[in-house]
Amino acid sequence: MSIAEPETRPYSREWLLSDRPTSRRQARLGRAYIVWRRFAENRLALVGLAILILLLVVAAFADVLAPHNPVQGDLRNARLLPPGTAGYLLGTDDQGRDILSRLIYGSRLTLLVVVLVAVIAAPIGLIVGTVSGYAGGWIDAVLMRITDIFLAFPKLVLALALVAALGPGIENAILAIAVTSWPPYARIARAETLTFRHSEFIAAVKLMGASPFRIVLRHVMPLCVSSLIVRVTLDMAGIILIAAGLGFLGLGAQPPLPEWGAMIASGRRFILDQWWVAAMPGFAILIVSLGFNLLGDGLRDALDPKEAGQ
Amino acid sequence: MTLPETSVATRRNRRRASSALASVLRFAVTVVTTVFGLLLVTFFIGRVVPIDPVLAIVGDRAPAHVVERVRLELGLHLPLYEQFYIYVKQALSGDFGTSVLTTNPVLEDIKRVFPATIELATIGTLLGAFIGVPLGVLAAVKRGSIADQVVRVIGLIGYSVPIFWLGLLSLVLFYAQLRWAAYPGRVDIVYEYSFTPVTNFYLLDAAMQGQWDVVWDLFRHIALPGSLLGYFSLAYISRMTRSFMLNELSQEYIVAARAKGLSEARIIWFHALRNAAVPLVTVIALSYANLLEGSVLTETIFSWPGLGLYITNSLQNADMNAVLGGTLIIGSVFVGINIFSDLLYRTLDPRTRNR
C-alpha cells in the first residue's frame, strides 16, 4: 500500500522541497533549491554574486557603458585630469584617456583571463585527478608525482618563467597561468574519486560491463564537479591577481590594451602627483577578486555544510 | 579470534620498523623525483619552449658566428636527452650559467641577493604570526561577533588585494605624505660605504657591529615592505588559526576542562591553542614559502635588492639563465620548506608517528 503524495503545484516551494520527488528533474531542482537557500542565507556571498553579475554586465555592454574611447585619448585637453572632472568621472591618464572607460573595457580582459584559465585548467585537473584516483597503482603514482612537481613551484614564479620563455602577451599569460593552476584541481578530483572508488554503484556499473573510460567519464567525473567548482571559484581571485601581476611586470596584455595590472604599471610613474592613474585600476582588481572570494566562500559553505563556518 | 598478547606486540613492532623504513624510502624518492622534476621543468622552459634559445640569449642583431658559437656552447646540436643530462649535471654542481645582465655566474648573484629576500620574508612571517594567531584565536572564541567579522574582512581583503598596488599606495602615504618610511631601497646611500655587511643579513650585521644609527635606517627601509608582506601572511594565518581553533573548541576535552572549572583563558591559550599549534606550524611554514613568492612583486615596488627584484630585472632584460636559476632556487626552497614543515608536523603530533 503506497501513501499517495499530496498533489503540489509544480515549481512551487513545496514541490521543490518535497522529500519524495516524482521525477529526476524535480529531485535535481529540489537539491539546487536547497543549495541556493543555504547560499542566500549568507549575505556576503550574495554581495559576491552581485559583484560578479555586475562584472558580467559591464563586460557585455562595455560599448554602451563606456563614455569614451578606451584606447585613443584627448592628448591636447585631457591629460592627467583628476577624478571628478566633468565628463571624466575617474580622471584621465597620461595619454588623455578616460580611466573609467578603460576600466570598463578592461573588465572584458579580466573575464577572458578568468574564463579561459578555468576552461583550460579545470578539465586538465579533473581528468588527471579522476584517472589517477580511479586507476590507482603506478598510473596514480606517476600522475601524482607530476602534479607534485608542478605544485612545488610557487604559481607566480613559474608563470613568470613561462611567460619569459613564451614571450609577453595576454594569450601566453593565460597559458602560463593555466599550466600553473591545474595541480590543486587534480588533487581535489583524486581525493574525491578515492572516496567512492570502491562504492557499490561503481561496482554495479562495472558489473554491467561499462569500460573504465565510461565509468570515469560518466560516473566519476560528474561527482567531482561540485567540489571542483568551489575550488575554481576560490582560485579565481588568485588568478586575477597573478594576471594583474604579470600585466604589471609588462608580461601580460600589451599596450594599448586596457588591462588593469598594466594600467597600474603605467600609472606608477605619476604615483606621487597623479595618484588616481594607478589607484583606480587597483580598486577594480580588489573589488572583483573580493567578489570571487565571497562567492567562493559562500558556495563552499552551501555545497559542503560540513565545513560551514570554518 | 584472539591472539596471545606477546605475538601481537612483536608483530606490531616489526610492522612499525618496516613502515618506518618504508616511509624513509618513500621520503627519499619524493625528494629525488621532485628535484628531478624541477630541473626538468626549468630545462623545458629554457630550452624547449623558446623557438630559438640562442636568439633569446644573444638577441636578433648578433652576427652569425656569435650565434653559431653560442649554439655550440649551449650544446644545442646535441639531442635533447643529452642536453638535459648536461643541464642536470651542471645544475647539481651549482652551475646555472652566467647572467647576461651582471656578467656574474648566476649562483654567485643569487647568493648575494637571497639574504635580502630571506630577511624580508622573515620579518613578514614574524609579523604575520604574532598578529595573525591572536586575531584568529579571537575570531574563533567570539565566533559570529563584530570582532569575528572584522578579522574575516581583514583576511578577505588580504586575499583579494594586488600586493604591488597596495605597496604603491603605501609608498604614497607613508613615504611621500607622512615621511615616516624611507625611500625605496634597503639602506640609505649615506651608509652604503660606512657599513660593511658580513652575512648580507643587514639588520643582523648592523646590530652585531653596534651601528645603531644604521639599524634605525635599515628599520625605516624594511618597515613598509615588511609590514606589507606581514599583512598577507596575517590574512592567511588568522584565517587558518580561526578554523583550527573552532575545530579544537568543539572537542570533548574542552568540555571536560570547563567541567573541571578551569578559567576560560587557560582553556583557550593552554589547552585549545596547544592542540591547534601543531597544524599551525605547518601553516606558518607554508606562509613563509608563500612570502618568498610574494616578495617578487613587493621587491619590485620597494627596490628591495633581493631575489624577486633580481628575477624581474633579468626578465626585463631577457636574461633567461638568471630567471631560470632564480626560479629553480625558489622552487627548491619551496620544496625544502614543505618537507621541513611535514617533518615538523610529524615530530610535534604524536598521532602521526609510525604512520
Question: Which of A 93-122 lie inside 8 A of B, CB atoms?
Answer: none
- The reported pLDDT for the residue numbered A309 is 44
For the purposes of burial, counting CB atoms within 10 Å of the CB of A285, is it exposed (0-12), middle (13-18) or buried (19 or more)?
buried
Closest CA to A310 of B312, B240, B156: B240
Segment (H or E) for A72: none
Distance from CA of B238 to the nearest CA of A (A): 12
pLDDT tens digit sequence for B318-353: 788 888 888 888 888 888 888 888 888 878 777 765
**What CATH number labels A33-308?**
1.10.3720.10
Contacts of B238 (CB under 8 A, 6+ apart): B131, B132, B133, B135, B136, B139, B151, B154, B155
What residues of A are in contact with residue B318 (Cβ under 8 Å)? 164
Instruction: Provide, as residue numbers in chain A, all residues whose Cβ is less than 8 Å from the Cβ of B165.
Output: 244, 264, 278-279, 281-282, 285-286
What is residue B6's predicted lDDT score, i.e. its pLDDT? 54
Max CA pair span of chain A:
86
Size of interface A-B (CB pairs under 8 A): 147
**Quick check: A153 and B41 CB within 8 A?**
yes
Q: From the CB of residue B347, how many other CB atoms can be counted at a distance below 10 Å?
A: 11
Are the Cβ atoms of A275 and B320 closer than 8 angstroms?
Answer: no
Task: Tell me if B160 and A164 make a contact (CB, 8 A cut-off).
Answer: no
Domain boundaries, chain A: 33-308
Q: Nearest 5 degrees, angle CA A57-CA A61-CA A64?
A: 140
A157 touches B: beta carbon within 8 Å = yes
Shortest distance, CA A259 to any CA of chain B (angstroms): 14
For residue B309, give the nearest of B101, B94, B90, B38 by alpha carbon.
Answer: B101
Q: Please tell me the predicted confidence (pLDDT) of residue A246.
A: 92
Please, what are the averages of pLDDT over each run of 10 residues along chain A (310 residues)? Answer: 61 80 84 84 88 94 86 77 80 85 92 94 94 90 89 87 87 93 92 88 89 89 87 90 92 88 89 86 94 89 60
Answer whether B331 sits within 8 Å of A154, measured CB to CB: yes
Q: Is-contact A101 A70, C-beta < 8 A?
A: yes
What pLDDT, in 10s, does the model give residues B255-295? 899 899 888 888 888 888 888 888 898 889 888 888 888 88
pLDDT of residue B61: 76
Between these two residues, A284 and B66, which has the higher pLDDT value? A284
At B323, list the grid cell. Answer: 630567471
Q: What is the pLDDT of residues B88-133, one digit of tens each?
A: 888 888 888 888 778 888 888 898 889 889 999 999 999 999 999 9
- Written as nine digits, the cell of B305 is 635588492
Q: Give the C-alpha separation, A39 to A137, whole Å.
A: 39
- Return the pLDDT at A1: 43
Residue of B26, B51, B164 for testing the chain A interface, max A β-carbons within 10 Å: B164
CATH of B108-352, one of 1.10.10.10, 1.10.3720.10, 3.20.20.20, 3.40.50.720: 1.10.3720.10
Contact A290 B160 (CB under 8 A): yes
Task: Assess contact for B240 and B281: CB atoms under 8 A.
Answer: no
Is 0.95 topped by the overall pTM?
Answer: no
Decide if pLDDT at B2 tops 50.
no
By the 8 A CB rule, do B251 and B314 touch?
Answer: no
Q: Band the pLDDT of B5: cuts 50, 70, 90.
A: low
Q: Give the pLDDT confidence score for residue B98 in this predicted structure.
A: 81
Q: What is the pLDDT of residues B206-215, one digit of tens each?
A: 777 777 887 8
Which pLDDT score is estimated for B196?
Answer: 74
